[in-house]
Amino acid sequence: MSAVDFSALAEQFTTFYYQQFDQDRSQLGNLYRDSSMLTFETTQVQGTKDIVEKLVSFPFQKVAHRISTLDAQPGSPNGGDVIVMVTGDLLIDEEQNPQRYSQVFHLMPDGASYYVFNDIFRLNYSG
């Protein structure tokens, strides 16, 4: 569908992103830009500074993301951007029961690397 190996890119990105998030989420700022948007549950913020502030504000001490499904598609006919959808489990502090979540990343090319333009995160509560 595209010259870019968007599936490999999506895997590399999400692996790095969640490792960094789970280890020290205050360091995620270089993956965003001032135009980037984060929707976390019902909260919307824009820009690197506000996004990192939001991520750091979560009250948990320990967190681990486990990816269940990872799907990617090129996000435009010729633009080199990539749409990624993740579903997975979130393990928080000493909780035994993981919480299911869904997350979308829209990755934009920036020179030789990519940044997150769109980030939408939702916990999946039982219906």
b/e map 88-105, b = 16+ CB within 10 Å = bebbeeeeeeeeebebeb
Quote the least distance from Cβ 62 to a copy of itself, whole Å. 18
- Rounding to the nearest 10 degrees, give the CA dihedral for residues 45, 49, 52, 54: -40
Q: How far is the CB of 71 from a copy of itself (least distance, A)?
A: 5
Mask for 6-35, x = binds a copy of itself (CB under 8 A) = -----------------------------x
Among residues 64, 53, 58, 56, the alpha carbon closest in space to that of 23 is found at 64
Least Å distance between CB 96 and a copy of itself? Answer: 12
Tell me the three state secondary structure of residue 62.
coil
Is residue 50 close enough to count as binding a copy of itself by CB under 8 A?
no
In the complex, the smallest distance separating the C-beta of residue 57 from a copy of itself, rounded to whole angstroms, is: 19
Using CB under 8 A, pick the residue from 20, 21, 39, 64 that binds a copy of itself: 39
Under a CB-based contact definition with an 8 Å cutoff, are residues 87 and 14 in contact?
no
DSSP 59: -
Q: Which residues bind a copy of itself (CB under 8 A)?
A: 1, 35, 37, 39, 44, 46, 66, 68-69, 71, 73-77, 81, 83, 85, 87, 89, 98, 100, 102, 104, 106, 108, 117-118, 120, 122, 124-127
